[in-house]
Amino acid sequence: DIFAEAPADLVQPDRVAGRLYTDPAIFEQEMTKIFERTWVWVAHESELPKPGTFKSTYVGRQPVIVSRDRKGNLHTLLNRCRHRGASLCEKPRGQANGFTCPYHAWSYGLDGTLRGIPYPDGYEGVVDKKDLSLRKLRTESYGGMVFATFAGDIEPLADFLGDAKLWLDRFMKQGGGYPVKVLGRHQFRFRGNWKIQLENTTDGYHFPIVHRSWMASVDAETADMMSFMTDPAAITHALGNGHSVMQMVPEHSDLDADDGTEPLQARFDHVVAELSKTLDDGQVRKLVRAMHGTGFNLNLFPNVSMSAAFFRVLRPIAVDETLIEHIAIGPDGPPELDVVNRERMRIHEHFQGPFGFGTPDDAEGWDRVQRGAQAAPEMPILVNRGLGREKDDEHGWPTSHVTDEAGMRAAYSQWKQMMSDD
Ligand code: FES
Ligand code: FE
């Protein structure tokens, strides 16, 4: 029992134990008490556009297949054959009529039912196929995001998201009135605990320091947006269940709230010119404002974050190793939107991309935090910035300046609650 020696000491309102990043026993408990007990993001609906499309991914450390059956229903299936346990499918994405195990060819439908067993005579009176469907997880979607959970008894997804739903809705408005689709993705691993990344999304404090090289690489107009660091209106607030949002540019947060006076950034002039050939001014404005970014970072506990034109999903691999997937999105519509999606991919590459100016700098910071925690796991990690000025917002959620650590405190309070549950 990790809490045996000093129950509340590992997570306090102003600090967490360094051991949280280094202790394999804590990591094991997180996998069962958090990742198998909550809603975990598995797909965006645009990745499963037609009946028969599937992707293989993970819920915590468990491999799963997400599939769309012939009726259009989504399923999340444990990627483990019911015969002797082989993984069924290791293709990241594809289209199929079902899944056949490569070992002895037991075959399953897109909904996980066992369809066929080769040479079935040896199983007469021994096996009833009805009892040997693939293990199925609960699967629910909100706003195009598909989540799954091993827990049969937790709240519906919509309740788990709670006040974060408003922000997910705002994030999805980046299609500028069109549905949103996945444009591309990349993955990388870093040598650090998953919670180091979880802390990062609503950490406004690191931005002008770590991302100085990014700021030096953009135009003055974009760099000027960094004035949020000293803007008292820029706030981070908790949203319940460990979720939080950092509103850097509050007036940009709702892309539908537009009085027509906000100037469009000159760096998108070529997009405006191209779109104006076929779309009306209102449509052009919507699409280009969406390219400016949403003005907020949303953190969904335990492992998804959203910001501007991308979202990020983290997957814990080991106590000191985490996989990050960055997924770029854009509007799904007529070919004249290609110019928008090309530009969005360039923005994605510029900051998030493997050769971008943003993520490599973040990752360097995360590696260093892990090394520091390993050097002295008994020393605390401080999450107390802004404690003295934290207030409740109109919904009663803890709120503080955008440079404060209110989002981390919200995540750790959820962590503590889930880890204390029996
Ligand atoms: Fe899958 Fe034997 S392990 S058919
Ligand atoms: Fe960063």
Whether 309 and 412 share a structural domain: yes
Candidate from 82, 106, 132 with most ligand 1 atoms within 8 A of CB, to mutate: 106
> Can you spell out the DSSP letters for 149-212?
ES-SSSPPHHHHHGGGHHHHHHHHGGGTTSPEEEEEEEEEEESS-HHHHHHHTT-GGGHHHHTH
> Can you spell out the DSSP letters for 253-297?
S-TT---S-SPPPGGGHHHHHHHTTTS-HHHHHHHHHHHH--SEE
Whether 46 and 105 share a structural domain: yes
C-alpha dist (Å) from residue 285 to 47, 122, 183, 290, 345: 27, 67, 21, 8, 19
Whether 109 and 169 share a structural domain: no
> Can you spell out the DSSP letters for 292-327?
H--SEEEEETTTEEEETTEEEEEEEEETTEEEEEEE
pLDDT of residue 95: 98
CA atoms of 397 and 375, how far apart (whole Å): 35
Instruction: Work out the average pLDDT over 43-55.
Output: 97
Whether 116 and 182 share a structural domain: no
Q: Tell me, yes or no, whether 18 lies in a domain.
A: no
Does the beta carbon of 81 sit less than 6 angstroms from any atom of ligand 1?
A: yes
The strand pairing partners of 182, in sequence order, are 329
Instruction: Work out the average pLDDT over 297-305.
Output: 97
Span from the CA of 59 to the centroid of ligand 1 (angstroms)? 22
pLDDT of residue 240: 97
Q: Tell me, yes or no, whether 259 lies in a domain.
A: yes
Q: Of 288, 287, 250, 247, give the one whose Cα is nearest residue 266.
A: 288
Whether 220 and 260 share a structural domain: yes
Q: Tell me, yes or no, whether 23 lies in a domain.
A: no
pLDDT of residue 7: 43
Q: Of 126, 133, 168, give the one whose Cα is nearest residue 147.
A: 168
Report whether pLDDT(337) > 70. yes
Domain boundary among 117, 149, 181: 149
Q: Tell me, yes or no, whether 138 lies in a domain.
A: yes
The strand pairing partners of 298, in sequence order, are 245, 306
Q: List the structure tokens of 276.
A: 């104006």
Instruction: Work out the average pLDDT over 29-36.
Output: 96
Task: Kindly report which listed range (15-29, 78-92, 224-238, 392-406) carries the lowest average pLDDT score.
Answer: 224-238
Span from the CA of 208 to the centroid of ligand 2 (angstroms)? 9
Backbone torsions φ then ψ of 84, nearest 5 degrees: -125, 20
CATH number at residue 287: 3.90.380.10
Task: Kindly report which listed range (313-317, 345-349, 400-404) carries the lowest average pLDDT score.
Answer: 345-349
Span from the CA of 80 to the centroid of ligand 1 (angstroms)? 9
Backbone torsions φ then ψ of 34, nearest 5 degrees: -110, -65
pLDDT of residue 2: 52
HSE, CB side, 13 Å, CA atoms: give it for residue 172: 17
Whether 225 and 315 share a structural domain: yes
* 303 confidence band (pLDDT: 50, 70, 90): very high
Report whether pLDDT(59) > 70. yes
* 3 confidence band (pLDDT: 50, 70, 90): low
Q: List the structure tokens of 136.
A: 């199925």
Domain boundary among 149, 173, 192: 149
Q: Which residue has the higher pLDDT, 292 or 166?
A: 166
Candidate from 65, 101, 114, 117 with most ligand 1 atoms within 8 A of CB, to mutate: 101
Whether 182 and 312 share a structural domain: yes
Backbone torsions φ then ψ of 212, nearest 5 degrees: -60, -40
Instruction: Work out the average pLDDT over 117-132.
Output: 95
Q: Tell me, yes or no, whether 24 lies in a domain.
A: no
Q: Tell me, yes or no, whether 313 lies in a domain.
A: yes
Whether 60 and 179 share a structural domain: no
Q: Of 235, 294, 285, 287, give the one whose Cα is nearest residue 260.
A: 285
Does the beta carbon of 86 sit less than 6 angstroms from any atom of ligand 1?
A: yes
Q: How high is the mean pLDDT of the chain? A: 93
Report whether pLDDT(331) > 60. yes
Q: Tell me, yes or no, whether 31 lies in a domain.
A: no
CATH number at residue 51: 2.102.10.10
Instruction: Work out the average pLDDT over 17-35.
Output: 95
Q: List the structure tokens of 206.
A: 């690191």
pLDDT digits (tens, 9 = 90+) for 134-180: 999 999 999 999 999 999 999 999 999 999 999 999 999 999 999 99
**135 DSSP assignment:** P
pLDDT digits (tens, 9 = 90+) for 339-383: 999 999 998 998 888 788 898 899 999 999 999 999 999 899 999
Span from the CA of 222 to the centroid of ligand 2 (angstroms)? 16
Q: Which ligand is nearest to the CA of 123?
A: 1
Report whether pLDDT(60) > 90. yes
Report whether pLDDT(6) > 70. no
Whether 166 and 125 share a structural domain: no
Query: What residues contact residue 399 under an 8 Å CB cut-off, 6+ apart?
Result: 235, 236, 237, 238, 390, 391, 392, 393, 406
* 5 confidence band (pLDDT: 50, 70, 90): low
Q: Note the pTM of the prediction, 2 decimals.
A: 0.95
Whether 225 and 295 share a structural domain: yes
C-alpha dist (Å) from residue 48 to 4, 59, 75, 145, 263: 45, 17, 11, 11, 37
pLDDT of residue 356: 87
pLDDT of residue 8: 54
Domain boundary among 149, 182, 205: 149
* 127 confidence band (pLDDT: 50, 70, 90): very high
Whether 144 and 237 share a structural domain: no
Instruction: Work out the average pLDDT over 324-346.
Output: 95
Task: Kindly report which listed range (8-22, 23-37, 366-380, 386-400) carries the lowest average pLDDT score.
Answer: 8-22
Boundaries of domain holding 81: 40-149
Total domains in the fold of the chain: 2
Q: Tell me, yes or no, whether 21 lies in a domain.
A: no
Instruction: Work out the average pLDDT over 288-292.
Output: 91
ipTM > 0.90, yes or no? yes
Whether 114 and 188 share a structural domain: no
